[in-house]
Amino acid sequence: MSELKLADRIKRIKPSPSTAAADRARELREQGRDIVNLTVGEPDFDTPLSIKEAACQAIMEGDTKYTAVPGTVPLRKAIAARLEKRTGLSYGMDQITVSNGGKQVIFNTLMATVEKGDEVLIPAPFWVSYPDMVLACGGTPVIVECPESTGFKLTAEALEAAITPNSRWLILNSPSNPTGAVYSKEDLKVVTDVLMRHPQVWLLTDDIYDEIVFTGEQVVSPVAVEPGLIDRTFLINGVSKTYAMTGWRIGYGCGPKALVGAINKLQSQMASCASSVSQAAATAALNGDQSDVEAWLDVYKQRSDLAVFMLNEAPGITCGVSEGSFYVYPNCAGVLGKKTPDGKVIKTDGDFVLYLLESEGVAVIAGVAYGLSPYFRISVATSEEIIKDGCARITRACKALS
């Protein structure tokens, strides 16, 4: 039998580090290990009952067929209403597309626009999938480091220095996965001013955590700050994080009609459409009562503050306050160079993360996966008891180093 020949696009990319970390934690649990899993970026709350009832009603009424490729009209109307409330801008039905999760919308967008030689600017720390998606589409990811000293946010100087004639997109994620950084209106004005000087660079905003903000203010959209960018900005969002609907797989994108048309052409050949039942559930989520979302926000903030407080008690660890999402991003520079009880030297954040897993059974994700070391990411989308246990184990592991 002849050997399978894989396409170069597959060879260019790697599996998602966050998914791999979560899978490893599950494997160890199945082997009988006592594992505290702080890797999963998924709300531990159940999908609200009203949303589930809308899905059940759709099933019982026979709403189980193909929908239009860009999504049902009721869902796109609900998305348009939400976006107008948030940005002050109106989007037509032909400017909105619905896919199987925000991840697919991002991939479809890059697949429709990026070719060999095109560069995509990615501020680091970044969500782990951005660079590999760019590589899979034949483009070149250009990593722009955003250190802790800038609040993990992109500066005008760093952006200007990274832009070349080949720059095609800038990806902006606020609130951030993994840092929880939130771009204020002033932060965005700095970025949008630079983009206005470089008309070849389009802006892709990943807004999936925009309802999980601890600053007391609503997240601002770049197109609200600089309406002059609306013709080259694509807004991406979904219902996964806000409504505890990760498994329902509904994401959406909003922007110029020509880009949406190209994405729809791709989707017609890839997946036809998102699940009709899930679209009915997402419509109910966006149109319905938001009290669960508001209540969960308070819980996420309490959990985040708890994790930050406990992690700052661990020798060699410092952790800034998260402004949003459900992650914290502790700095572990203070443990580098130290030795584990069995004599191994902690040289990198990857070494430290492995040490935590082996010594205390705590699963976290190394900062190298997000493009900025020496850090590690913790998800607080879990109970206070688990957060307390995990942070206590991290402290114990740090105290055992010499």
Q: pLDDT of 354-365, one tens digit each?
A: 999 999 999 999
Chain centre distance of CA 137: 19
Cβ count within 10 A of residue 204: 26
Nearest-angstrom CA–CA distance, 363 and 361: 6
Residue (of 130, 133, 132) closest to 111 by Cα position: 133
Give me the phi and psi of 183, to 5 degrees please: -80, 120
Residue (of 106, 82, 38) closest to 210 by Cα position: 82
Mean pLDDT (whole number) for 329-337: 98
Nearest-angstrom CA–CA distance, 322 and 175: 9
Mean pLDDT (whole number) for 367-392: 97
Establish if 311 belongs to a structural domain: yes
Are 276 and 145 in a shared domain?
A: yes
- When pLDDT is cut at 50, 70 and 90, the band that residue 208 belongs to is very high
Are 34 and 110 in a shared domain?
A: no
Q: Which of these three, 287, 318, 334, is where a domain ends?
A: 287
Establish if 199 belongs to a structural domain: yes
Cβ count within 10 A of residue 277: 17
Are 344 and 161 in contact by the 8 Å Cβ rule? The answer is no
Are 279 and 353 in a shared domain?
A: no
Establish if 1 belongs to a structural domain: no
The reported pLDDT for the residue numbered 89 is: 86
Are 20 and 106 in a shared domain?
A: no
Range(s) of the domain holding residue 69: 49-287
Task: Give the CATH number for residue 209.
Answer: 3.40.640.10
Q: Tens digits of per-residue pLDDT, 296-310?
A: 999 999 999 999 999
Nearest-angstrom CA–CA distance, 173 and 165: 23
Q: What type of residue sits at position 8?
A: D
Average pLDDT over the chain reads: 95
Cβ count within 10 A of residue 161: 10
Nearest-angstrom CA–CA distance, 287 and 72: 14
Both tokens of residue 104? 């697919």
Establish if 275 belongs to a structural domain: yes
Are 269 and 337 in a shared domain?
A: no
The reported pLDDT for the residue numbered 152 is: 98
Establish if 316 belongs to a structural domain: yes
Are 265 and 202 in a shared domain?
A: yes
* Adjacent-strand bridge partners of 366: 376
Establish if 166 belongs to a structural domain: yes
Establish if 3 belongs to a structural domain: no
The reported pLDDT for the residue numbered 13 is: 82
Are 283 and 141 in a shared domain?
A: yes
Sole residue written with tokens 């679209």: 279
Nearest-angstrom CA–CA distance, 299 and 391: 18
- Proportion of the chain above pLDDT 70, given as a percent: 100
Mean pLDDT (whole number) for 337-353: 96
CA atoms within 13 A on the CB side of 275: 14
pLDDT at 84 over 80: yes
Both tokens of residue 3? 């050997």
- Proportion of the chain above pLDDT 90, given as a percent: 89
Task: Give the CATH number for residue 327.
Answer: 3.90.1150.10
**SS3 string of 57-106?**
HHHHCCCCCCCCCCCCHHHHHHHHHHHHHHHCCCCCHHHEEEECCHHHHH
pLDDT at 384 over 70: yes
Nearest-angstrom CA–CA distance, 155 and 143: 13
Are 170 and 268 in a shared domain?
A: yes
pLDDT at 1 over 70: no
The reported pLDDT for the residue numbered 33 is: 83
Q: Which of these three, 253, 287, 321, is where a domain ends?
A: 287
Nearest-angstrom CA–CA distance, 64 and 244: 22
Are 364 and 222 in a shared domain?
A: no
The reported pLDDT for the residue numbered 23 is: 79
pLDDT at 278 over 70: yes
- Note the pTM of the prediction, 2 decimals: 0.95
Q: Which of these three, 227, 253, 287, is where a domain ends?
A: 287
Nearest-angstrom CA–CA distance, 232 and 202: 5
Are 255 and 283 in a shared domain?
A: yes
CA atoms within 13 A on the CB side of 10: 4
Nearest-angstrom CA–CA distance, 129 and 36: 24
Find the length of the chain: 402
The three-class DSSP label of residue 41 is coil
Establish if 314 belongs to a structural domain: yes
Are 201 and 305 in a shared domain?
A: no
Number of domains in the chain: 2
Are 261 and 362 in a shared domain?
A: no
pLDDT at 19 over 80: no
